[in-house]
Chains A and B, each alone.
Chain A
C-alpha cells in the first residue's frame, strides 16, 4: 500500500477557554450569550489533529492536507489568520453554526457532504483526522459518523500516536481507561483517527506558510456554502450553568504541622 495520504482534518472553532460562558434561549434553541462577540480559537483537539496531519504529510511525500470546518465564515476567517501560520493546508468551509448545541448527526452529515465535494480527494488514500473530543459539544461522536457516512469503517479514537510502516500499515495507540493504551494495527488507509493530544507541541508561527495558505484559503472562505443543520428533532428543555460556589475556609495562620495533620485526617476520614 502507498504512504502518500490524503489527510482530511475536521475541525472548527470554539470560544476562547478563558471566557465565561452563559447560555440563553433563542428561536433556534439554546445559544451562548454574545456568541458572535466571544473571541474564538481553533478547537484544541482539532488543533492537535491538524499538527499531526501536517507532520504526517511532511514525512510522507505526495501527501496532502485539507482542513474542513463547519462554522460561521466571518469567525473562521479571524481564527484562520492565526492557524494558517502553523502548517500548510487547504481550507474547505461549510458556513453554519459551530455551536455546541447543534446536533452531532446533522454536523456529521454536513461535514461528510462537504468532504464528498472536495475535488481531487482520493478516498482510498484518505485518513480522516479530527478531535476525539471538542471544547463545545464534547460528544466524541461526530468523527465516527462522518467516517461511517463516507464508508470508512476502520476507526480509532483517543489517538496519541500513529506509526506508518513501510508497507502502508498504521500502528495506532488509543487511550483507554486507567492511563493505558490499546495498540492496534490497520493495514492502511482509509481510516478515521480521532486525536487526543498527540505528541507534538504547537508549531511556531511561520508567516511564509501563512501567506501561502491564505492565498488559497481566502477564496475558500468566500465560496463557502451555507450549511443546513435543520434536520433534527433535538429539543432542549433547559440549559443552565450550575451554581456551585462554595464557602471556602481559608487556613493561613496555622502551623505547617497543623495543616498537614488536618489534611491527613481528611484523607483518612
Chain B
C-alpha cells in the first residue's frame, strides 16, 4: 500500500499552509502504515514547490503546464489522474482547498475508487487508515474506514501539523494532454486589500448579526453608523467578517444592509464554519444553526443586550450584556 500526497501550487508556485498540513498528515499516515510516501505536484511550475518539501523523503511526480496555473476542473482532474495512475497508490491524501475540493471527487470515478472529503483527522489504526469528518454541517463527528481502493481523501485546514523540510527534489515529469479542455480561465475577481473583509488567516472573526440593522433605543435604524463602526474595527484589527443568516436574508428582502456584506460572509448551518483563534459575535441571536458557525473558533466572546441570548449561553466564554453600538465605538477609540 502506497500513500500518494497530491497538491497544487499557488500563483507564486509555492505550497499553501493547508497543503503543508495535508503533507504532514500524509507522511504521518504512511509512517503509521509502514509504507512508502509519494508526492504528486500540479501547477504551472512545480520545481520550487517540490524543493520546498523535498525533506519528506518521498518519490516525486509532477505535472507542469501553464494551463494548470488556474484551477480549471477538467485540467486539474486530468493532471491528478495522470499522477495517480503513474503512482499506482492505493491511498491519496490532498488538501481540501477550493481547487481540489472541486476537482478530486471526480478522480474517484476515473480510478474506480472512493472519496471522502473535508476530513478533520487521519490516522493509521491496526494497519488501516481511519478518517474523521463532520456530518450535518459540523454538528456530529464520525470516525470511518473503508476497504475500497484507491481511497481519495481531502483534509480540511487546521487539522494537522504543517510539514517543514526543504531540500532538492528530483521530480519525475508526468505527461498529460489538456487539449480537450473546453473551459478557459478568465481571471480572478478579488476585492482590494483595503476592502477585503474575508480573511481566512485572520486572528479574529468578527460576526455581525441582524441587530445592527434593527431599530435602536431612539426608535430609528442606524445602518450608516453600524457600517462605519464595523468597517473601522475591521480596518484596524484586520479581522475577518462573518454574518448571521438573518442579516444576509435581509439583503434578499431588500432591507437596509451593511454594504460590504455578501452571501460569502455567512457563517453557520447554511454558511461556512471558519477556523480562527478568536471570535467576537455582535448583535447575533440564535440557537442550533449557530453552533456550526462557532464550531472551530477557539476563544469566543459575544456582545448582546440579552443576557439569555441563545447564541452566547454555553457557547461563548464571555458575554457582554450591553449595546454593541456603544461598546464597539469605545473599542474603536481604544484601538485607534
- Contact of A160 with B263 in the complex, beta carbons under 8 Å: yes
In the complex, the answer to whether A235 meets B135 with C-beta atoms within 8 Å is no
The answer to whether A246 touches B317, judged by C-beta atoms less than 8 angstroms apart, is yes
Asked whether, in the complex, the Cβ of B114 is within 8 Å of the Cβ of A232, the reply is yes
Inter-chain contact A234/B144, CB cutoff 8 Å: yes
5 CB contacts below 8 A, A to B, read A144-B105, A148-B106, A154-B181, A188-B182, A248-B316
Cβ contact of B102, chosen from A103, A174, A257, cutoff 8 A: A174
Asked whether A36 is an interface residue with its Cβ less than 8 Å from the other chain, the reply is no
Q: Is B101 close to A, CB under 8 A? A: yes
User: Taking the complex as formed, is A186 at the interface, i.e. its CB lies under 8 A from any CB of chain B?
Assistant: yes
- For the complex, is B191 an interface residue (Cβ under 8 Å from A)? yes
Q: Judging by beta carbons under 8 Å apart, are B266 and A237 in contact? A: no
A125 CA / B272 CA spacing, docked (Å): 33
Q: Which of B274-292 contact A (CB under 8 A)?
A: 278, 280, 287-289, 291
CB–CB A250/B321 < 8 A: yes
Interface size band for A: 35 or more
Chain A residue contacts of B313, Cβ below 8 A: 248
Contact residues in B for A104 (Cβ distance below 8 Å):
105, 115-117
User: B182, A154: Cβ atoms under 8 Å?
Assistant: yes
Which residues between 235 and 253 of chain A lie within 8 Å of chain B, taking CB atoms?
A: 235-242, 244-252
Query: Which residues of B have CB within 8 Å of A2?
Result: none
Query: Which of the candidate stretches A15-23, A89-97, A215-223 sits at the interface with the other chain?
Result: A15-23
A256, B323: Cα distance in complex, Å: 9
Contact yes or no, B278 A267, CB < 8 A? yes
B177 within 8 A of A: no
Closest residue of chain A to B254, judged by CB?
A201
* Segment 307-336 of B: residues with Cβ below 8 Å from A: 307, 312-323, 326-327, 330-331, 333-335
- A30 cross-chain contacts in B, Cβ below 8 A: 142
* Closest partner residue, chain A, to B180 (CB atom): A153
Cβ contact of B334, chosen from A108, A153, A171, A264, cutoff 8 A: A264
- Once bound together, how far apart are the Cα atoms of A15 and B295, in whole Å? 19
Q: Residues of A contacting B326 with CB < 8 Å?
A: 256
Q: Is the CB of A240 within 8 A of B108?
A: no
Q: Helix, strand, loop or mixed for chain A's interface?
A: mixed
CB-CB under 8 A from B143, the residues of chain A are 236-239
Task: List residues of chain B with CB within 8 A of the CB of A183.
Answer: 185-189
| A190 nearest CB across to chain B (Å) | 10
Q: Closest 6 A-B residue pairs measured CB to CB? A: A179-B198, A141-B105, A260-B330, A252-B321, A201-B252, A148-B109
Complex formed: what's the CA distance from A108 to B77 in Å?
A: 18
Q: Which of B106, B115, B315, B330 contacts A246 (CB 8 A)?
A: B315
A118 interface residue, CB < 8 Å from B? Answer: no
Q: A residues engaging B (CB < 8 A)?
A: 14-15, 17-23, 30, 32, 44-45, 100-101, 103-105, 108, 135-142, 144-145, 147-149, 153-158, 160, 171, 173-188, 194, 196-197, 201-202, 232-242, 244-252, 254, 256-257, 259-264, 266-267
Q: Which residues of B contact A142 (CB under 8 A)?
A: 105
Assuming A141-B115, A153-B74, A158-B102, is B186 touching A171 (CB within 8 A)?
Answer: yes
Task: Kindly state the separation between the CA atoms of A22 and B135 in the bound complex, as whole angstroms.
Answer: 11
Decide: A145 and B106 in contact? CB cutoff 8 A.
yes
- A44 touching B183, Cβ below 8 Å: no
The stretch among B40-48, B51-59, B65-73, B216-224 that forms the contact with chain A is B65-73
What separation, in Å, do the CA atoms of A144 and B77 have in the docked complex? 11
Determine whether B141 belongs to the interface, using a CB cutoff of 8 Å to chain A: yes
Q: Do A257 and B237 touch across chains, with their CB atoms under 8 A apart?
A: no
Given A233-B148, A237-B130 in contact, is the A263-B301 Cβ separation under 8 Å?
yes
Whether the Cβ atoms of A179 and B278 lie closer than 8 Å is no
Residue from B142, B147, B278, B319 within 8 A of A236 (CB atoms): B142
Whether B199 is near chain A, meaning CB under 8 Å from some CB there, is: yes
Partner of B264, one of A140, A154, A179, A188: A179
